[in-house]
Amino acid sequence: MPSPARTPLGLAAAAALAATVLSGCGSSTRAQDAASSTSAGGSTAAAGTTSVLVGGNAGSLHASTPVTLSIAVDQAARAELPADVVKRGTLVIGEGALPTGFPPLAFVGDDKRTLTGAEPDLGRLVAATLGLKPVITNATWDNLFVGIDSGKTDVGFSNITDTEKRKEKYDFASYRQDNLGFQVLASSTWQFAGDYHNLAGLTVAVGSGTNQEKILLEWQSKVKAEGKKLNGKFYTDDSTIALALRSKQVDAYLGPNPSIAYANQQSRGTASATRTAGTYSGAGASLQGLIAATTKKGDGLNKPVADAINTLIANGTYAKWLAAWNLSNEAVKTAEINPPGLPITNS
């Protein structure tokens, strides 16, 4: 999926993010990206260990809990890399976060220069595991794929959903569930518990024209057929959704889970603090949607990238990465190569 939308940001958080973006956004040269990566803990040798700062450079937005992780090179995974990548010594990691970024996944950090977020952080961890220096590049969503197509970008870590349509051109290595989340006030005791029947009697907000609206309407029809009622309210902007939830005009908001995790973090300690009351696959009931590292089809990179992710899962680093960005509820048990994706009819 492209960058998460419908994030119910508070006014202060939105202003802080806007200031960050205006002063720091824009694609940089590879040399500048390499320097930024090194300053974020990304300089890596082919042997030994590297310290990688995860969740850093985001203090002003309270988006993460920073942690420094020691990463050892997985020599078996490194041996699978294409020879030209090993010779070059870098892994060019693509983000599609221009123009404004999408916290907590990818956005310009406090230094107004370095791209931070869960996605570039995982890219840095994978590069370290493969004994490569990470080079983070930032582009618009469309140009992210242009970079992969041209070979200028090795791998995209940018909240890219695994779809069958995309598999015509790309290979995938999955690393996170593609989930929607239910956001409620922290004072609420309601839980989704994976069952739409628990929505009966509630008023739920969604962004107008989104996939969430489609899912909510389907649930609404099912609940109605059972003689019960589910009210939906459809909004076109994030601030109105946040206000509706704070003022209890709605009981819950259904939106992209990472965006909700970020908004929950922003609200901590306030009178209108929120929490996540359950998740649901962004692909619907029939398939667990997956977010995946994306490489050019047949270029030989997806296997070592998947193996590096599995090494991070096995040694506990992966769980610490998710926890740093409040995304533990999107964990996968293993990185899969080209797992079933959204059907072409739903891509």
pLDDT of 30 reads 38
How far apart, in whole angstroms, are the C-alpha atoms of residue 42 and residue 35?
9
User: Residue 89 pLDDT more than 60?
Assistant: yes
Backbone angles phi, psi at 137, to 5 degrees: -115, 150
> Are 191 and 198 a contacting pair, CB within 8 Å?
yes
Separation between Cα atoms, residue 165 and residue 341, nearest integer Å: 9
Question: H or E stretch including 156?
Answer: strand 155-156
**8-state DSSP, 281:** E
Compute the average pLDDT of residues 323-346: 94
Q: CB atoms < 10 A from the CB of 268, how many?
A: 11
Inter-CA distances, 207 with 31, 242, 267, 329, Å = 40, 11, 20, 22
Answer yes or no: is pLDDT of 9 > 70.
no
Instruction: Convert the pLDDT of each residue in 129-140 to its tens digit.
Output: 999 999 999 999
- Residue 167's nearest CA partner among 341, 29, 332, 33 is 341
CB neighbour list of residue 165: distance below 8 Å, 6 or more residues apart: 342, 344, 347
Can you tell me the mean pLDDT for 313-321?
98
The candidate with the shortest Cα–Cα distance to 261, out of 347, 183, 336, 152, is 183
Helix, strand, or coil (residue 307): helix
φ/ψ (deg, to 5) at 111:
-80, 5
pLDDT of residue 19: 33
User: Rounded distance, CA 30 to CA 27, Å?
Assistant: 9
- What is the H or E stretch that residue 34 is in? helix 30-39
pLDDT tens-digit profile of 103-129? 999 999 888 888 999 999 999 999 999
Residues 287, 293, 294: CA angle, nearest 5 degrees: 95
| Structure token pair of residue 248 | 């209890």
Q: Residue 179: pLDDT above 80?
A: yes
Bridge pairing between strands 90-95 and 155-156: parallel
Q: Three-class SS of residue 183?
A: strand
CB-count exposure of residue 234 (10 Å: 0-12, 13-18, 19+): middle
Domains assigned to the chain: 11-178+289-346 (3.40.190.10), 179-281 (3.40.190.10)
Q: pTM for the full model?
A: 0.85
Mean pLDDT for 189-213 is 97
Token couple for 40? 């974020």
**Local structure of 50: helix, strand or coil:** strand
Given a cut of 60, whether residue 26 has pLDDT beyond it is: no
Computed on alpha carbons and rounded to an integer, the radius of gyration of the chain in Å comes to 20
Give the span between the Cα atoms of 183 and 265, in whole angstroms: 12
Report, as an integer, the average pLDDT of 192-221.
96
